[in-house]
Chains A and B, each alone.
Chain A
């Protein structure tokens, strides 16, 4: 037994500033592209968009279609809308599957700040994908005009664009919410796909019944969002969006955030 007593250590952190939110945001943004899964996901999205645009360009030129700028952007958007929610899911669940949560939450123990930084990073990626769709659509439209030997037609539905912006952001956030709820990549992806592809069929089937048909608009988030492509909405349509959004986006998100606050970090 030694007789020495350890010197009283105090670590004075009163002057140490907390991690600024901007740095958390920068780190999370980097995680979304500078990891193997993230890089491949972004790479596959960009690759798939390029392939879809090329096919659309070839078909338009071969069949002499009257394709305009909006059509080229829509072609890119269809592909990216499937993969954006996956990005939203992996932003959250990969902390658990790759076991980085321990480091992340040790460096910034206020978990909600990390989650907010992730959400902001997800929205930034959504904006990036939308900008990419606009850019690639521009190239496609110019090439189409050059091949056809005519001047490019730039008509583009700007109300449609607003709808596109909002629905893509909701799609990403929907994935994000499911990931917070499950904290597990495969589970969140499978449930998201069931929600996106199985649920509409069930709702359509159920709507054959009169009582469900009047209820359906209030609980069907996907068709409520589709109305956004035809702005402005009536007040009933806004309420459909709000009520169904609370069910499919806000409720899973809040339960998920509550879960993240208490989840074991392992």
Chain B
């Protein structure tokens, strides 16, 4: 038996904790500098360009008159589907790639890590907005040049704010689903069930049942975002966005936060 080593102490009283800015920086890098994240970002940008290219070719060939808003609606087709997936994977990849162990060892305060991730996701929605606005503007200018029609811009300020909200809400909902399930396939599948399968029974129910028709606008989050996409949201529609958002965004978000704090890191 060797002699007992002298007790050593590690004085960490002067070691500052990891600053929040650094956490945000690390999480931002994880979003773009991993194989899944990078390909998803490339796919979103490429698909948006492809969709707008097709839209441009079609409207010019058929002499359809369109406005700036129509091009943003086109851009929302790929973005509305893929941005939430990015939100989901920003949380779940910690579990599927088993990086959670390292992440939460270096920063044991899990809520700070989650807050940093959420800040990154929100920054990304702003980036998505800028990209969407620029590609849309480019398509709109090209449309004017190719068709000879007057280019209609509409109220760009309102459009920008409404589409920012659409993408912020989409990514936040994905983020919440990711936290609830902590598993990429489960989060993605259930998010798609929510956004593609659920509208059908909602539609049928509202069509057939009078009482359901009345409450549906207040509980159907997908439906409540419709006026945002048309950039016409006003009055009651804001309240409906809030109440349905409480059910589909805030509630899963809170459940997810509670789960993250207690989930086994493996």
Residues of B within 8 A of A78 (CB): 197, 200
Decide if B196 touches A55 in the complex (CB within 8 Å).
Answer: no
Interface: A52 (CB within 8 A):
yes
Q: How distant is B96 from chain A, measured CB to nearest CB, in Å?
A: 7
Instruction: Identify whether the interface residues of A are mostly helix, strand, loop, or mixed.
Output: helix
Binds B, one of A138-146, A188-196, A255-263: A188-196
Interface: A57 (CB within 8 A):
no
Decide if A189 touches B197 in the complex (CB within 8 Å).
Answer: no
Interface: A202 (CB within 8 A):
yes
CA distance A79 to B40 in the complex (A): 28
From the candidates A55, A97, A186, A205, name the one contacting B201 in the complex (CB within 8 A).
A55
Given contact pairs A82-B197, A186-B85, A97 touches B188 in the complex (Cβ within 8 A)? no
Decide if A194 touches B189 in the complex (CB within 8 Å).
Answer: no
Decide if A198 touches B185 in the complex (CB within 8 Å).
Answer: no
Decide if A82 touches B193 in the complex (CB within 8 Å).
Answer: yes
Decide if B196 touches A197 in the complex (CB within 8 Å).
Answer: yes
> Whose C-beta in chain A lies nearest to the C-beta of B59?
A208
Interface: A23 (CB within 8 A):
no
Interface: B151 (CB within 8 A):
no
Decide if B89 touches A186 in the complex (CB within 8 Å).
Answer: yes
Q: How distant is B202 from chain A, measured CB to nearest CB, in Å?
A: 10
Interface: B54 (CB within 8 A):
yes
> Whose C-beta in chain B lies nearest to the C-beta of A201?
B77
> Whose C-beta in chain A lies nearest to the C-beta of B209?
A59
Decide if B81 touches A185 in the complex (CB within 8 Å).
Answer: no
> Whose C-beta in chain A lies nearest to the C-beta of B62?
A208
Interface: B78 (CB within 8 A):
yes
Decide if A186 touches B58 in the complex (CB within 8 Å).
Answer: no
Q: For this complex, into which size category does the number of interface residues on chain A fall?
A: 20 to 34
Interface: B61 (CB within 8 A):
yes
Count contacts on B: residues with CB < 8 A to the other chain. Answer: 34
Per CB-CB distance, the 7 closest pairs between chain A and chain B, nearest first, are: A186-B184, A185-B185, A209-B61, A208-B58, A208-B62, A59-B208, A193-B192
Decide if A208 touches B81 in the complex (CB within 8 Å).
Answer: no
Decide if A205 touches B54 in the complex (CB within 8 Å).
Answer: yes
Interface: A37 (CB within 8 A):
yes
Decide if A90 touches B205 in the complex (CB within 8 Å).
Answer: no
CA distance A202 to B56 in the complex (A): 12
Interface: B57 (CB within 8 A):
yes
Interface: A86 (CB within 8 A):
yes
Decide if B54 touches A202 in the complex (CB within 8 Å).
Answer: yes
User: B9-51 CB contact bits vs A (8 Å, 1 = yes)?
Assistant: 0000000000000000000000000001001100000010001
Ordered by A's residue number, 20 sampled pairs between the chains whose C-beta atoms are within 8 Å are A37-B185, A48-B197, A63-B209, A82-B196, A86-B189, A186-B184, A187-B39, A189-B192, A190-B82, A194-B47, A194-B78, A196-B196, A197-B81, A197-B196, A198-B77, A198-B81, A205-B55, A205-B58, A206-B54, A206-B58
Interface: A128 (CB within 8 A):
no
Decide if A90 touches B55 in the complex (CB within 8 Å).
Answer: no
Decide if A37 touches B54 in the complex (CB within 8 Å).
Answer: no
Decide if B96 touches A198 in the complex (CB within 8 Å).
Answer: no
Interface: A6 (CB within 8 A):
no
Decide if B192 touches A186 in the complex (CB within 8 Å).
Answer: no
Residues of B within 8 A of A187 (CB): 36, 39
CA distance A48 to B198 in the complex (A): 10
Q: How distant is A15 from chain B, measured CB to nearest CB, in Å?
A: 43
CA distance A37 to B81 in the complex (A): 23
Residues of A within 8 A of B185 (CB): 37, 86, 90, 185-186, 189
> Whose C-beta in chain A lies nearest to the C-beta of B192?
A193
CA distance A90 to B205 in the complex (A): 32
From the candidates B61, B200, B205, name the one contacting A208 in the complex (CB within 8 A).
B61
Residues of A within 8 A of B189 (CB): 41, 83, 86, 189
CA distance A193 to B184 in the complex (A): 15
